[in-house]
């Protein structure tokens, strides 16, 4: 596929449905050959954005550029894009081969060319034996492949995927995810992939755009999105289990305080939110009085044991095999979750010492945007990591 | 066969004979009831005809009241019109031609006690036999043999009862018809004595060819062998001889005749001295074969019901559930049986007979009615007209589909289009036809006046053989288009929008989307509308009946209208029934073909 990949650029694109603003002034640039993932909760406007790019909806304001032309007046079929739908949208009365060849056929390609392209794509996707079947006779995974193949046959400049994996079972979803990544490496085509699943987004995207209420909340690499969430929404949406949060308020001396923590230095904000990812908490079981060596000490994080910030009760312990999730009654009775190695011996009801890796925490201002990491409380000497 | 066995208390095994006995008794009762009902119907009918004959006789000049009374064996009263003619338990008939009107009242026949005692006793005997047999087997019942034995017994029993009932009913009916025949002949005799010619005599006797049929109709005039004719001629009581019974086609005819002597003064072309025997009256009594077949089917049904219930008898819960289910099903099944399959089979039966309303006998003719239709030009031209008329269906579907597509995007447009176009579907066809007839009137019709206003000469919408059928087709389109549009709208709404999205991204234009997505997505809807509309079109009647009455010059004579006229104007029900079945066959074949095609094409969709 010697095709020149195309850039997709959205300039101030807005779309309203009656009173609902589905897409609100989105500026987004997808680089040629990039695999960009749009992620966000249901109803945030991801599909609408994708359909605007495809030309299936008309935007109310702004411009959509594909490659080096503005496509606002260009019909969907002429935009050099192909789209894979969540429901696959296979035509039930056509065979797999006819479905695959439909895009070429309506463009007036000859039967020989159609046959050649269809068999090429069928070979890549392993659909060879299914060409004469109809969609109703295929499994969900096979239908998904046909939908993929239908997009590939036309060798478009941009691929658009609207939640193509959400109708598959978990194992097949993982497998297909890998295949799409491999396909992207092979073809080098621009791909825009919409999903509501943040794990899928982080694992698949070269860059990820997190959307909420019609706006792009953050655009960045998966690492940036995870480690430096731009605001509370992104922080809460990305990561599983979600980030632990604690509301902080300014005390009499101008310091932020909440739960057992008092942070040094005077704060410009009257209040803030502390965010700690579950893996940045370290849990150790408190030795019962008049007993032997502390039973939990063997399983805690290796290296020098940080001094515990607070003690809590393990309310519930989820064992996931590779790790454990410990639900705690966190500071100020906030429900917190910590991740711990599976070797840690702990049961519900145990008292635990909890320490925090402060340099990896997040502080969010009153408007929700990230201001940086939280300083180490109490000791006062730890400088705030720049955001 | 020991008494001890019979007196043993009924155990679980006793259920079998109990159920079988109950079923047998019920079936017997049903057969007897049906037979008794048939008989009383026949008697009543005989009485009516008797009264009609008497009334006709009274019209013959010279026939006195005493003659009529004598004909009716003294059971007649002649009453004044004011009296209403309906004494207690009397039938009254108006003698149409009498001036002033007079009424002949006849007491209903009261013959026999109405109950087939002999058959009843036979059935009872059979039931007793079976009960005894069941009791004797009780000791060591071989369960596997029960169903077979029960089947045999039931079958034998039913054959017995059916045969007895049939024999009895047959004899009774024969007696009824013989009596009626005798009266007919006597009426002819009285009329003849009063100076009426044989034709008038036959009319008086209320016999077939009296109602306008020609004397020369060959199968009604039997030319006898010379000896027989001479024997009749030698008989001084010429008019009342001979009387005979013919068994043919599974039915029994009791007949009588008067002989007509053709003299030089009679029909010139007939050689002098030839005797014609005019078959004056005959009465068909239904064939024992048919009754036996019917009762065999009935027995089979009952037996299979019993066999079906037997295994359930040991599981009361299942039995109760089954009975409840059948209880709920029974009303619907009975309705279906009585109002759908019953008439259907009856019309098939009629179509195999020479069935005329004016003729009380309906001789079995096999496929003769169908054979005659093959060479019936009128019928085939009606079929052709129906076919041409049916062409309005594809036209209407095209219009309806276009309208449905046009109104697809807008809810309000959908509503208005529905309201406006669906109205014809909920309006009486007769009202529509009357209005259109007025609109399309040659002289004062709105259509022609509008055309006249723009200088186009009047069009003979309904009075020209070339135009009339087309006019009806246009009205046909107008009538069905709303209904079809609503169905198409529903079909369109069921096509997922995402298919269109996918096709748009694939580069398909509006026509290609219509061709590759809308049409295939609608094909079940299209098929449904096509089949129902074609069937509806094959059955078009009211429109033709009100607007053109098949005219002009038979140009709009469609199949159902043709059948209607055959039955109710020409009173040839046998022919009409045969036509109905041919029409049914055509519609059925068309539908079946459609289904097969659809099945093959859409097997994987
Ligand atoms: N055709 C439409 N008509 C009206 N509202 C729509 C339409 N399509 C989407 N919306 C609204 O726009 C918002 C964004 O929808 P969508 O883009 O489908 O969200 P998602 O991120 O789940 O794909 C939702 O509030 C939805 O209700
Ligand atoms: Mg969506």
Single residue among B190, B207, B224 that ends a domain in this structure: B207
Average confidence (pLDDT) over B301-327: 77
For B266-294, the pLDDT digits (tens) are 333 333 334 444 444 445 555 555 666 66
Q: Judge whether B451 lies within some domain.
A: yes
Q: Is the same domain home to A61 and A173?
A: yes
Nearest to B506 among A55, A106, A136 (CB): A106
Single residue among A236, A259, A278 that ends a domain in this structure: A236
Q: Judge whether A195 lies within some domain.
A: yes
Between β-strands A190-195 and A35-39, what pairing exists: parallel, antiparallel or unpaired?
Answer: parallel
Between the CA of A43 and the centroid of ligand 2 the distance, in Å, is 7
For B320-372, the pLDDT digits (tens) are 787 888 888 888 888 888 888 888 888 888 888 887 765 555 667 778 889 88
**Would the CB of A42 count as within 6 Å of ligand 1?**
yes
Is the pLDDT at B375 greater than 90, yes or no?
no
Mean pLDDT check: name the lowest of A48-57, A73-82, B18-27, B305-314. Answer: B18-27
Q: Judge whether A108 lies within some domain.
A: yes
Closest CA–CA distance from residue B407 to any residue of chain A (Å): 21
Q: Is the same domain home to A367 and A252?
A: yes
Q: Is the same domain home to A211 and A288?
A: no
Q: Considering the entire predicted model, what is its pTM?
A: 0.65
**Would the CB of A44 count as within 6 Å of ligand 1?**
yes
Between the CA of B192 and the centroid of ligand 2 the distance, in Å, is 99
Could you tell me if A83 and A54 are in contact, meaning their C-beta atoms sit under 8 angstroms apart?
Answer: yes
Q: Judge whether A45 lies within some domain.
A: yes
Average confidence (pLDDT) over A300-304: 42
Residues of A in contact with B512 (CB under 8 A): 106
Is the pLDDT at B295 greater than 80, yes or no?
no
Evaluate whether ipTM surpasses 0.95. Answer: no
Q: Is the same domain home to A49 and A146?
A: yes
pLDDT category, B100, cuts 50, 70, 90?
A: very low
Mutate to test the interface with B, among A83, A121, A159, A167 (most CBs of B within 10 A): A83
CA-nearest residue, atom 17 of ligand 1? A45
The two tokens of residue A53 are 């790019």
Q: Judge whether A319 lies within some domain.
A: yes
State residue B549's pLDDT score. 84
Q: Judge whether B474 lies within some domain.
A: yes
Distance CA A206, CA A31 (A): 11
Residues of B in contact with A167 (CB under 8 A): none
Q: Judge whether B549 lies within some domain.
A: yes
The two tokens of residue B29 are 């009762």
Single residue among A236, A260, A290 that ends a domain in this structure: A236
Q: Is the same domain home to A338 and A274?
A: yes
Average pLDDT, chain B: 71
Name the more confident of B401 and B167.
Answer: B401
Q: Which ligand is nearest to the CA of A85?
A: 2
The two tokens of residue B4 are 């001890």
Distance CA A274, CA A278 (A): 13
Is the pLDDT at A366 greater than 70, yes or no?
yes
Q: Judge whether B217 lies within some domain.
A: no
**Would the CB of A17 count as within 6 Å of ligand 1?**
yes
H or E element in which residue A225 lies: helix A222-227
Distance CA A66, CA A8 (A): 5
Name the more confident of B424 and B37.
Answer: B424
State residue B427's pLDDT score. 84
Between the CA of A6 and the centroid of ligand 2 the distance, in Å, is 24
Phi/psi region, residue A257 (left: phi>0; alpha: psi -120 to 50; beta: rest), is: beta
Q: Is the same domain home to A186 and A87?
A: yes
Q: Is the same domain home to A136 and A220?
A: yes
Distance CA B92, CA B105 (A): 5
Could you tell me if A117 and A153 are in contact, meaning their C-beta atoms sit under 8 angstroms apart?
Answer: yes
Name the more confident of A146 and B226.
Answer: A146
Sign of CA dihedral B254, B258, B259, B265: negative
Q: Judge whether B267 lies within some domain.
A: no
pLDDT category, B21, cuts 50, 70, 90?
A: low
**Would the CB of A22 count as within 6 Å of ligand 1?**
yes
Distance CA B275, CA B222 (A): 9
Q: Per-residue b/e over A174-209, b at no fewer than 16 CB within 10 Å?
A: eebbebbbebbeebbbbbbbbbbbbebbbebbbbbb
Q: Judge whether A378 lies within some domain.
A: no
Q: Who's near A246: CB < 8 A, 6+ residues apart?
A: A258, A259, A261, A273, A274, A276, A330, A331, A332, A334
State which residues form the domain around A163. 8-236
Distance CA B205, CA B135 (A): 58
Is the pLDDT at B596 greater than 90, yes or no?
no
State which residues form the domain around B26. 13-207
**Would the CB of A195 count as within 6 Å of ligand 1?**
no
Q: What is the CATH number of the domain that holds A202?
A: 3.40.50.300
Which chain B residue shows the shortest CA-CA distance from A87?
B498
Q: Cα torsion at A247, A251, A254, A256 (round to 10°)?
A: -30
Residues of B in contact with A54 (CB under 8 A): 501, 505
Q: Is the same domain home to A171 and A50?
A: yes
Q: Which ligand is nearest to the CA of A50?
A: 1
Q: Which ligand is nearest to the CA of A40?
A: 1
Which chain A residue shows the shortest CA-CA distance from B508?
A106
Between β-strands A323-329 and A310-319, what pairing exists: parallel, antiparallel or unpaired?
Answer: antiparallel
Q: Is the same domain home to A250 and A219?
A: no
Q: What is the CATH number of the domain that holds B567?
A: 1.10.3720.10
Record: contact B505-A77, CB cut-off 8 A = yes
Mutate to test the pocket of ligand 1, among A13, A48, A161 (most ligand atoms within 8 A of CB): A48
Please count the structural domains in chain A: 2
CA distances to A255, A265, A286, A361 from A268, in Å = 9, 10, 37, 19
Which of A28-32, A122-126, B38-42 is predicted most confidently?
Answer: A28-32
Mean pLDDT check: name the lowest of A304-318, B15-29, B223-237, B444-458. Answer: B223-237
Q: Is the same domain home to A347 and A267?
A: yes
Nearest to B605 among A54, A93, A102 (CB): A93
Between the CA of B498 and the centroid of ligand 1 the distance, in Å, is 14
For B418-472, the pLDDT digits (tens) are 788 788 888 888 888 888 888 888 878 888 888 888 878 778 888 888 888 999 9
Q: Is the same domain home to A191 and A275?
A: no
**Would the CB of A45 count as within 6 Å of ligand 1?**
yes
Mutate to test the pocket of ligand 1, among A20, A39, A58 (most ligand atoms within 8 A of CB): A20
Distance CA B465, CA B186 (A): 53
State residue A339's pLDDT score. 93
Q: Judge whether A383 lies within some domain.
A: no
State residue B249's pLDDT score. 44
Between the CA of A15 and the centroid of ligand 1 the distance, in Å, is 10
The two tokens of residue A298 are 């063997």
Please count the residues of chain A: 387
Q: Judge whether A2 lies within some domain.
A: no
CA-nearest residue, atom 12 of ligand 1? A22
State residue B466's pLDDT score. 84
Name the more confident of B294 and A144.
Answer: A144
Record: contact B605-A134, CB cut-off 8 A = yes
pLDDT more than 70, % of chain B:
52
Between the CA of B500 and the centroid of ligand 1 the distance, in Å, is 18
Is the pLDDT at B13 greater than 90, yes or no?
no
CA distances to B193, B408, B492 from B489, in Å = 78, 7, 5
- Total beta-carbon pairs less than 8 A apart between chain A and chain B: 73
Mutate to test the interface with A, among B503, B504, B507 (most CBs of A within 10 A): B507
Q: Who's near B21: CB < 8 A, 6+ residues apart?
A: B127, B130, B131, B134
Q: Judge whether B556 lies within some domain.
A: yes
Q: Judge whether B438 lies within some domain.
A: yes
Is the pLDDT at B152 greater than 50, yes or no?
yes
Distance CA B440, CA A183 (A): 70
**Would the CB of A244 count as within 6 Å of ligand 1?**
no
Which chain B residue shows the shortest CA-CA distance from A53?
B505
State residue A1's pLDDT score. 45
Single residue among B145, B174, B207 that ends a domain in this structure: B207
Q: Is the same domain home to A343 and A303?
A: yes
Single residue among B207, B227, B244 that ends a domain in this structure: B207
Distance CA B76, CA B85 (A): 11
Q: What is the CATH number of the domain that holds A361?
A: 2.40.50.140
Residue with tokens 């992939």: A193
State residue B220's pLDDT score. 39
Mutate to test the interface with A, among B494, B505, B512 (most CBs of A within 10 A): B505
Please count the structural domains in chain B: 2
């Amino acid at each position: 596929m010697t095709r020149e990949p195309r850039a997709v650029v959205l300039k101030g694109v807005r779309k309203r449905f009656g009173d609902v603003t589905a897409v609100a002034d989105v500026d987004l640039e997808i680089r040629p050959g990039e695999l960009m993932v749009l992620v966000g909760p249901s109803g945030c406007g991801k599909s609408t954005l994708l359909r605007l790019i495809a030309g299936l909806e008309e935007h109310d304001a702004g411009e959509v550029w594909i490659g080096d032309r503005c496509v606002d007046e260009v019909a969907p079929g002429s935009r050099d894009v192909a789209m894979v739908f969540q429901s696959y949208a296979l035509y039930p009365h056509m065979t797999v081969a006819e479905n695959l060849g439909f895009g070429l056929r309506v463009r007036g390609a000859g039967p020989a060319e159609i046959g050649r392209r269809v068999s090429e794509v069928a070979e890549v996707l392993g659909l060879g034996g299914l060409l004469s079947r109809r969609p109703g006779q295929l499994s969900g995974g096979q239908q998904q492949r046909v939908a993929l193949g239908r997009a590939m046959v036309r060798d478009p400049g941009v691929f658009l995927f609207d939640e193509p994996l959400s109708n598959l079972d978990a194992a097949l979803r993982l497998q297909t995810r890998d295949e799409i990544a491999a396909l992207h490496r092979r073809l080098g085509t621009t791909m825009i992939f919409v999903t509501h699943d943040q794990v899928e987004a982080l694992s698949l995207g070269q860059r990820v755009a997190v959307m909420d209420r019609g706006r792009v909340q953050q655009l960045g690499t998966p690492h940036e999105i995870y480690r430096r969430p731009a605001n509370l929404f992104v922080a809460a949406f990305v990561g599983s289990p979600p980030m632990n949060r604690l509301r902080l308020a300014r005390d009499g001396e101008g310091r932020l305080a909440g739960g057992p923590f008092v942070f040094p230095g005077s704060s410009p904000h009257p209040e803030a939110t502390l965010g700690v990812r579950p893996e940045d908490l370290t849990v150790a079981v408190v030795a019962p009085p008049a007993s032997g060596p502390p039973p939990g000490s063997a399983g805690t994080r290796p290296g020098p044991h940080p001094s515990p910030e607070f003690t809590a009760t393990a309310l519930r312990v989820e064992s996931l095999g590779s790790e454990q999730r410990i639900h705690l009654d966190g500071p100020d009775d906030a429900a917190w979750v910590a991740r711990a190695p599976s070797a840690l011996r702990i049961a519900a009801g145990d008292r635990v010492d909890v320490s925090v890796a402060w340099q990896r925490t997040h502080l969010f201002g009153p408007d929700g945007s990230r201001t940086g990491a939280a300083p180490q409380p109490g000791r006062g000497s730890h400088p705030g990591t720049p955001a | 066969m020991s008494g001890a066995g019979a007196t043993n208390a009924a155990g679980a095994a006793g259920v079998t004979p109990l159920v079988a006995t109950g079923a047998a008794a019920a079936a017997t009762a049903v057969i007897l009831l049906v037979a008794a009902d048939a008989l009383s119907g026949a008697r009543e009918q005989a009485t009516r005809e008797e009264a009609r004959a008497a009334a006709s006789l009274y019209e013959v000049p010279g026939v006195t009241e005493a003659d009529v009374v004598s004909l009716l064996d003294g059971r007649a009263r002649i009453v004044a019109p004011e009296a209403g003619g309906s004494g207690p338990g009397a039938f009254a008939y108006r003698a149409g031609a009498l001036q002033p009107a007079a009424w002949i009242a006849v007491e209903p026949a009261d013959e026999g006690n109405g109950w087939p005692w002999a058959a009843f006793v036979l059935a009872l005997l059979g039931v007793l036999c079976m009960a005894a047999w069941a009791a004797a087997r009780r000791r060591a019942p071989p369960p596997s043999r029960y169903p077979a034995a029960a089947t045999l017994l039931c079958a034998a029993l039913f054959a017995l009862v059916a045969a007895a009932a049939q024999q009895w009913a047959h004899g009774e009916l024969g007696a009824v018809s013989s009596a009626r025949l005798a009266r007919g002949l006597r009426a002819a005799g009285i009329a003849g004595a009063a100076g009426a010619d044989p034709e008038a005599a036959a009319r008086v006797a209320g016999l077939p060819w009296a109602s306008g049929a020609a004397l020369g109709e060959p199968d009604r005039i039997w030319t006898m062998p010379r000896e027989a004719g001479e024997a009749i001629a030698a008989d001084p009581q010429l008019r009342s001889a001979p009387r005979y019974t013919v068994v043919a086609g599974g039915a029994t005819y009791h007949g009588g005749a008067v002989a007509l002597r053709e003299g030089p003064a009679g029909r010139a072309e007939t050689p002098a001295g030839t005797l014609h025997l005019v078959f004056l009256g005959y009465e068909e009594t239904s064939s024992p074969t048919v009754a036996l077949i019917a009762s065999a089917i009935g027995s089979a049904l009952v037996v299979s019901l019993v066999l079906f219930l037997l295994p359930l008898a040991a599981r009361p819960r299942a039995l109760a559930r089954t009975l409840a289910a059948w209880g709920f099903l029974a009303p619907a099944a009975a309705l279906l049986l009585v109002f759908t399959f019953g008439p259907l089979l009856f019309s098939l039966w009629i179509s195999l007979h020479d069935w005329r309303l004016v003729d009380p006998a309906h001789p079995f003719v096999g496929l003769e009615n169908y054979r005659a239709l093959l060479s019936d030009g009128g019928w085939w031209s009606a079929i052709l007209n129906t076919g041409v008329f049916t062409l309005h269906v594809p036209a209407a579907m095209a219009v309806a589909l276009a309208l449905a597509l046009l109104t697809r995007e807008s809810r309000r447009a959908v509503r208005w289009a529905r309201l406006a176009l669906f109205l014809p579907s909920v309006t009486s066809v007769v009202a529509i036809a009357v209005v259109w007839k007025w609109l399309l009137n040659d002289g004062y019709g709105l259509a022609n006046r509008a055309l006249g206003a723009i200088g186009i000469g009047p069009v003979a919408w309904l009075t020209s053989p070339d135009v009339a059928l087309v006019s009806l087709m246009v009205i046909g389109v107008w009538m069905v288009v709303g209904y079809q549009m609503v169905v198409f709208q529903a079909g369109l709404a069921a096509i997922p929008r995402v298919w269109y999205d996918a096709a748009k991204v694939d580069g398909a234009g509006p026509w290609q989307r219509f061709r590759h997505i809308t049409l295939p997505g609608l094909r079940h809807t299209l098929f449904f509308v096509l089949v129902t509309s074609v069937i509806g079109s094959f059955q078009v009647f009211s429109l033709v009946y009100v607007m053109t009455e098949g005219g002009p010059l038979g140009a709009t004579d469609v199949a159902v209208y043709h059948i209607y006229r055959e039955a109710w104007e020409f009173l040839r029900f046998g022919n009409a029934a045969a036509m109905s079945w041919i029409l049914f066959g055509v519609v059925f074949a068309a539908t079946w073909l459609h289904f097969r095609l659809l099945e093959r094409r859409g097997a994987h969709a």
